[in-house]
Homo-oligomer: A and B are copies of this chain.
């Protein structure tokens, strides 16, 4: 559709068809579009601007914790992928293979990276020789390809963008400390920037990363009651260092294998923003991550170019000078009503209306996206008020999301109870688990719910009761949910 036809029509209500609602926001807010290749999407400028904001905020944290960025090859020789047995088993079904280069059949086919442990492990074996070379704290921003069967924009796509950290350490303790430090960083990032509360915990062995010793994850609850994994941090132990022969001379001149971690967050975060905060009018972006924090919409009336427009332009400059990301939409080919709907769809946190009467009174009308409430503010007070309002919106989105998680986290002491909750209310279910894979599999088969994590918050809380599935003594309190 061209801009002049593209009236923002009513979208499917979230309560009616969540999946359709999601896809309609992706398309109408121009976040992404489909391509003729199955499962491959284009991230459109508005979606990419959100990703750039995510990158900026996450990259800052990655660097502040002592990591540096680098870039490793897109391709991985098949023989490298095979070096770690669990790794190749886990990833080979999803690999896209390059078999021809420069018009010739390749002697060894090349995997388009599904993750980079194998190629990075090889390079680290060249670079690491002594304890003085440790720790290695490297991150890369890259594209990843996994041949997925069922795809959905941002949530699961054949190609996606991510950052992947890959570190080497002298001791097991340092590796574990790094894994947890990153997990905490991810949690803080999600809550502070995305206004999405997450539960941090350990994955079960069944759900861990192929090749890891232990996977930690942060899990969020989407507004349809399904869980979404927001990020993972893997303690790789010495699995890859043994496979790739990454050895160092330690402080007592003994050769040792390094201890490694890897961790990542992806463009899936954009899907999470939609599903955690969106409503029936579209996206609701947290101000800290919003490409535009406010948009000024002028209300035309006769002579508005001479009266309203100069004031609106001045307001934009004043707000920009105050460090706020503010645009002005003074286009005449669209009505104010059309623009209101458009910026609501795009989730811009605040709309600033300026019309002839406002100019006369030296004021503007602020409409916040999260609550749709209005207030009138004098132009002088506007920069300070807008800055404060953006903070209020950020805080409100987080607190709304927290309330939703609290209201949708239930305990279950019997299997029937758990099944009823998963069937009727969804959300998180906390329940004792015996630690057995048989129960984990049975629950997944019968309820479509998986153990999202063993929450670390509950580590020091005694497990009450027997396994929700088999009744054997509970070894841990697990967090179950249906998930994306």
Contact = CB atoms under 8 A, between A and B. Distances in A.
Interface stretch (A36-44, A205-213, A338-346, A370-378): A36-44
A381 interface: no
Contacts of A74: 40, 112, 143, 145, 159
B98 A69 contact: no
Nearest to A291: B68
Interface in A38-54: 40-45, 47-49, 51-52
A462 interface: no
23 contacts: A2-B129, A2-B132, A2-B248, A4-B130, A5-B130, A33-B127, A35-B73, A35-B122, A40-B74, A41-B73, A42-B70, A44-B70, A45-B138, A48-B70, A48-B71, A73-B159, A92-B103, A97-B98, A97-B100, A98-B98, A98-B112, A99-B99, A101-B158
B71 A161 contact: yes
A115 B44 CA distance: 18
A149 interface: yes
Nearest to A108: B37
A75 interface: yes
Interface centre among A68, A77, A94, A138 (most CB of B within 10 A): A68
A460 interface: no
A42 B72 contact: yes
A448 interface: no
B75 A48 contact: no
Contacts of A97: 98-101
A333 interface: yes
A105 to B, nearest CB: 10
A70 B48 CA distance: 5
Contacts of A98: 96-99, 112
A99 B106 CA distance: 12
Nearest to A99: B99
A28 B101 CA distance: 31
A221 B29 CA distance: 46
Interface in A124-139: 126-130, 132-133, 138
Interface of A: 1-5, 33, 35-37, 40-45, 47-49, 51-52, 68-75, 77, 92-103, 109-110, 112, 119, 122-123, 126-130, 132-133, 138, 142-143, 145, 147-149, 158-159, 161, 248-249, 333
A33 B51 CA distance: 29
A35 B122 CA distance: 9
A250 to B, nearest CB: 12
Contacts of A112: 74, 98, 112
Nearest to A100: B97
Nearest to A161: B71
B100 A99 contact: yes
Contact of A42 (B44, B103, B123): B123
Contacts of A132: 2-4, 333
Nearest to A93: B103
A1 B129 contact: yes
Contacts of A159: 73-75
A73 B158 CA distance: 10
- What are the nearest 4 A-B pairs in CB distance? A102-B147, A2-B129, A2-B130, A45-B68
A143 to B, nearest CB: 6
B3 A130 contact: yes
A139 to B, nearest CB: 9
Contacts of A127: 33
A102 B35 contact: no
Contacts of A47: 70
A268 to B, nearest CB: 14
A75 B126 contact: no
